[in-house]
Structure 1
Amino acid sequence: MPGLRRDEVARLAGLSPGYYARIEQGGEPRPSERALSGVARALRLSRDERDRLFRLADRTPPAGGHVEPGLLALLDRLTDIPALIATGGGHEVLVRNAPATALLGPGATDGFPAGDTGPVRLVHPALGPLDLVCGSLLTADGGQRLVWFTAPPGGPAAELLRLLSVIGAQEFHAGGAE
């Protein structure tokens, strides 16, 4: 991606700067599929570009898991709305923004409405139940879905979403800070 430094690409790919530098410079003879997928996502590569990256690294391109760059660009703009990109059927979360991580947790998808839209109740481990409205947008080929969560203005869920946007995915501990 133009303008990104090596350490920024590494962070976006979920890699250490040293490991990314070795991949970039050819010093890592066989990078992992996870690393290559992270680099493809960080650089917003098209499916063809991602496949070429995998072949250059002597790996077979994966059949799924590639996030469409246009959806990623849209997800990047949703900075205060919990949103994620999932497979078309909604069964696998491919990437999520910071508010969605704060709402759903970094790995949890329990209670994730697989493609459903409309009212949904999600239970946050520290804040309790949130009555939200789920919306989604399906790509033309049906392969991926952008899912977002909003709350009716002025209600308790709206206040809790605002609180989550401030505190992020911090862990809460009973008895105050440690």
Structure 2
Amino acid sequence: MDRGELAAFLRSRRERIRPAEVGLPAGVRRTPGLRREEVAQLAYISTEYYTRLEQARGPHPSREVLSGLSRALRLSDAERAHLHHLAGVPPQPPSAPSRVVRRSILDLLDRLPHAAAFVTSAVYEVIAWNSLAAALMEDFSALSRRDRNLARRVFLDPRGAGRSLWGVSDAAHFARSVAQGLRATAARYPDDAETAGLIRELLDGSDEFARLWAAREVAVAPALVKTFDHPVVGPVTVNCDALDVADRDQRVVIYTATAGSPSEEALRLLSVVGTQVMGVPR
């Protein structure tokens, strides 16, 4: 535990926060930021305990105390990890896949008007998307969280993988990659009940998943091109790029059409009509 650096770090983070950011009145303050007693209250610890930490004479803080301080001081992921290291308590890896998408990633999706883009979690749940992705595939906002899970769609949908995945051409390849990806996810989050429950559900409900799971594949080559069978504009062939968001264990998937191709024209039309076409039977 580096008491001196921990004290200085806590003080610097406290002084940068404006009272209004945490719902406190500004009032008359002799120093910038929050008062020590305010941080202590937000972190659910005593003022005396927090004061001792800032004076480099505090006891070894527990994970619960560090969690409270991280929340009270609005620390980023990197700052939270740094706080843990200063306290001599290495941060634990997340116990479950994150479903929280960074604001910058959400902005990125909106700034890709000519590409269909969406974000998946480590268990293949679609957790963010732009309007063109909704027009090309489905209006995800109209679906329950359960129905936005692509692993369930590819293995458990009674229509079969091709139709449940919007007539996509690489359904069998995608199924293999999902089984491989979920095996890796299960290893990263061994204590997450939701991940374990999804895998049990797939094993019980799909012979294909059980077969792929038993194969224990660990490396499936990515699909670089795929074709969607859209009910209004017909076949749409797109280039596929996937960008990993390592700190959230998420993936940004981007579909673009080759310039000057009929598929580019189809995507341009879909960007205009949007999800108005979603009522067309498939």
SS at match of 2:247: coil
Pair 98,173 (structure 1): closer, same or farther in 2 beyond 3 Å: closer
Q: Deviations over 1:5-58 (max 9, x none)?
A: xxxxxxxxxxxxxxxxxxxxxxxxxxxxxxxxxxxxxxxxx78xxxxxxxxxxx
Q: Does 1:96 align with 2:202?
A: no
The question of whether the paired residues in 1 share the 8 Å contact of 2:224 and 2:239 is answered with yes
Report the equivalent of 1:119.
225
Report the equivalent of 1:134.
240
TM-score, normalising length: structure 1: 0.54
Pair 159,85 (structure 1): closer, same or farther in 2 beyond 3 Å: same
Pair 163,64 (structure 1): closer, same or farther in 2 beyond 3 Å: same
Runs of 4+ in 1 over 6 A off after TM superposition: none
Deviates more, 1:131-140 or 1:67-76: 67-76
The number of residues matched between the two structures is: 117
Pair 172,105 (structure 1): closer, same or farther in 2 beyond 3 Å: closer
TM-score, normalising length: structure 2: 0.36
Alignment partners' CA distance in 1, 2:277 and 2:257:
23
Q: Give the C-alpha shift of residue 161 in structure 1.
A: 0.6
What is the alpha-carbon root mean square deviation over aligned residues?
3.3
Aligned ranges 1:62-77 → 2 under 5 Å: 64-77=98-111
Counterpart selection for 2:117 from 83, 106, 115: 83
Read off the aligned partner of 2:99 and give its amino acid letter: G
Q: Does 1:152 align with 2:186?
A: no
Unaligned runs of 5+ in 1: 1-45, 48-61
Structure 1 or 2: more strand by fraction: 1
Pair 103,72 (structure 1): closer, same or farther in 2 beyond 3 Å: same
The question of whether the paired residues in 2 share the 8 Å contact of 1:126 and 1:172 is answered with no
Deviates more, 1:153-162 or 1:113-122: 113-122
Pair 63,132 (structure 1): closer, same or farther in 2 beyond 3 Å: closer
Alignment partners' CA distance in 2, 1:95 and 1:165:
17
Q: Give the C-alpha shift of residue 86 in structure 1.
A: 0.9
Unaligned runs of 5+ in 2: 1-75, 78-95, 141-147, 151-164, 182-221
Alignment partners' CA distance in 2, 1:64 and 1:144:
8
Report the equivalent of 2:81.
none
Pair 65,172 (structure 1): closer, same or farther in 2 beyond 3 Å: closer
Structure 1 or 2: more helix by fraction: 2
Alignment partners' CA distance in 2, 1:76 and 1:132:
19
Alignment partners' CA distance in 1, 2:279 and 2:108:
34
Aligned identity (percent) is 35
SS at match of 1:95: strand
Pair 65,173 (structure 1): closer, same or farther in 2 beyond 3 Å: closer
